Structure 1
Amino acid sequence: MNQVNMMQNGNTAGGKGRLQINVTSEITSYPVSEAEISISYTGIPESQLERLKTDSSGQTETVELDAPPVEYSLDEQNDRQPYSEYTLDISAPGYQPMSIAGTEILADVKAIQNVRLKPSAEGTEEEEVFVIPAHTLYAEYPPKIAEEEIKPVNETGEIVLSRVVIPEYIVVHDGSPRDSTAKNYYVRYRDYIKNVASSEIYATWPADTIRANVLAIMSFTLNRVYTEWYRNKGYDFTITSSTAFDHKWIPERNIYDSISVIVDELFSNYLSRPNVRQPILTQYCDGRQVTCPNWMTQWGSKSLGDQGYSAIEILRYFYGDNMYINMAQEISGIPASWPGYTLEVGSSGDKVRQMQEQLNVIAGAYPALPKISVDGIYGPATEEAVKKFQDVFDLPVTGKVDYATWYKISGIYVGVSRIAELV
């Protein structure tokens, strides 16, 4: 392979990362088949490396691409860019073409580039262009402005919600709060968390380090939701993409499989302290470019993960022993709740029937999924349909409907059946 860009900023090739692209319609959430994707080195458009086409699930094959050595993303003292950058040019009949410059490939993990194409108006082929900025651990971003981790509850209107609810969507203001020119984006909550985690930590880190950081990101976000922090200040959004105020969220950036699986596992959790109803505003910093006593540091959490600390042990190391993992009882926008146990071969009843009905609706949009009998009996055919669903949507392929799979089925069902309404 041509090594002309290996790598930016003097890096040399030494690792391999993987990339899969998923293309759906922005309007219907249905997969877009026969979309064509050209992959080239960012900054060198004539260096086409791969030309891919999506299948009936809107997915490309997984391709292997050059990346810097994995050690670059594991060493706090390393100054070299730990990821390579690629440009994707995506086109499909009936849709506006899109270009994404800066898809980040880390060694030893799979990058997932989700693309939502806009249907093209008759006679228009204007290309949407997105440029992904550098990762927060590699480039310099404004440090977080410190806030109290628990918001006061004695101010009229300060706390609006009576319970912690996992929202279906949040509204992300892509700039600082007072930047009236910045665009607002409606983003699915889980997609937001995956995007932020992929922007702020490296997917090559230990799983429990990733869990600790994901929990901190989710708790902070749910505090903004619960307190309606920005709406109470007269703004029409939930959270910003400014690191000085909130988290780094980047439109159209890629995520990683190791982060995606953990978010799906933990997405209804948040951090709490005794006798405090609201999720804790868990602030943090990188610990290398910026120091933050009494907050979690990202590189520090990586070091503890290397030493075998669990996620809660990492969090308590930084935030104190009275920090606990809690679970929201309500998931907004989901037709019916988790049954409380894993569904598998031999299970039966209304929850199995509901899951089968939802899988059949999803199969109407994703032809690779088989249609199954809606009989409330979890047999081999249902198991195979679940395995195919898990494979298509990047979940561990077990054939069992655990918590993460249940809510992924419900979420995809809501999307393709267009039950979801943006408020």
Structure 2
Amino acid sequence: MSDLKMMQDYIDKGQLQVNVVSDITSAPVRDAGVEISYTGVPESTLEELSTNESGQTETVELNTPPLEYSLNPAVEAQPYSEYTLRITASGYEPVLIAGAELLAQVKAIQNIRLRPILNPEEGEEVFVIPAHTLFGNYPPKIAEEEIKPIDESGEIVLSRVVVPEYIVVHDGSPRDNTATNHYVKYKDYIKNVASSEIYATWPEDTIRANILAIMSFTLNRVYTEWYRNSNKLGVEGDGI
């Protein structure tokens, strides 16, 4: 589907707010500029916003596909619109986010962390958001045994189930030793996975059930130290 045809199908509305903080101090960044455009037409600016003393922009309404696109699995059309955000602030490196997804009748909050300028010759930091897992074409998950034997003698750290403060996220296949590991807050990880695997337009009970499943799976991986005991890389965590 062409970008023009997709924009013609944007007959509903969603809301967007951008929050900007310093990557070093986490303090709000005031007077940061935010330019919003369609990802397919980045040269045409739709909105120009500025952050307040709390580092937040005003909430703006933007066009989206119809709500029913994300509620009916039989609909093959893309259920969300994609926007490009360019964030600039004095003394900070600019950031470009391409493919920010917006659903109908939902408020999306985009958090941005700006790095202070250390090397003036460096360009803007670019993030490209891939297609949602419910819409894009992705390889199947690695097959596993439904019931896995757990050898207690292999336990290294945890003696009980705990909720970790941070988990290690392996940015690639568990078999890929070259991929980067990132320390991510557990709560942020759960939120990010949920936003990647379900739509915010779904019924509240459906969203809650999916998030509980995501939490259960993640805590199981941490408690059983599945990746460490399998000599693989993946989601791990240290308890608090």
TM-score by length of 1: 0.53
Between the aligned partners of 2:8 and 2:156, the Cα distance in structure 1 is 49
Identify the structure with the greater helix proportion: 1
Deviations 1:339-381 (A, max 9, x none): xxxxxxxxxxxxxxxxxxxxxxxxxxxxxxxxxxxxxxxxxxx
From 18, 21, 39, give the equivalent of 1:21: 18
1:198-243 deviation digits (Å, cap 9, x = unpaired): 111111000000000000011111111112222334456525xxxx
**Could you tell me whether the CA contact under 8 Å between 2:174 and 2:233 is conserved in 1?**
no
Query: Identity of paired residues, percent?
Result: 68
Matches within 5 A, 1:145-160: 145-149=142-146, 151-154=148-151, 156-158=153-155, 160=157
* Contact map agreement 2:10 2:64 (CA 8 A) in 1: yes
SS of 2:217's partner is helix
1:178: Cα distance to partner?
2.3
RMSD: 2.1
Asked if the contact 2:166–2:185 (Cα under 8 Å) also holds between the matched residues in 1, the reply is: yes
Tell me what 1:88 maps to. Answer: 85
- Count of residues in Structure 1 that have an aligned counterpart in Structure 2: 237
Distance 2:209 2:86 in 1: 35
What amino acid is aligned across from residue 168 of structure 2 in structure 1? V
Does 2:133 correspond to 1:136? yes
Give the drift of 1:77: 0.4
Counterparts in 2 of 1:89 and 1:202: CA distance versus 1, 3 Å: same
Q: How does 1:100-139 map to 2 (within 5 A)?
A: 100-139=97-136
> Which structure shows the bigger proportion of residues in strand conformation?
2
CA distance in 1, matches of 2:228, 2:30: 39
TM score, norm. by length of structure 2: 0.90
Deviation at 1:149, TM superposition (A): 4.9
Runs of 4 or more, structure 1, over 6 Å off, are none
Aligned to 2:36: 39
* 2:181 counterpart (181, 184, 189): 184
Q: How does 1:228-247 map to 2 (within 5 A)?
A: 228-234=225-231, 237-238=234-235
Distance 2:156 2:150 in 1: 6
Give, in angstroms, the shift of residue 155 of structure 1: 5.1
Secondary structure class of the residue paired with 1:152: coil
Aligned twin of 1:54: 51
Alignment of 1:18-417 (within 5 A): 18-149=15-146, 151-154=148-151, 156-158=153-155, 160-234=157-231, 237-238=234-235, 332=240
Name which one, 1 or 2, has greater alpha-carbon Rg.
1
Taking the aligned partners of 1:40 and 1:199, their CA distance within structure 2 comes to 22
Q: How much does 1:192 deviate?
A: 1.0
Q: 1:61 to 1:149 in 2, by over 3 A?
A: farther
Could you tell me how far 1:11 is from its partner in structure 2? 6.2
Greater relative contact order (CA < 8 Å, ≥ 6 in sequence): 2
Aligned pair in 2 of structure 1 residues 206, 154: CA closer, same or farther (>3 Å)?
Answer: same
1:74 Cα deviation after fit: 0.6
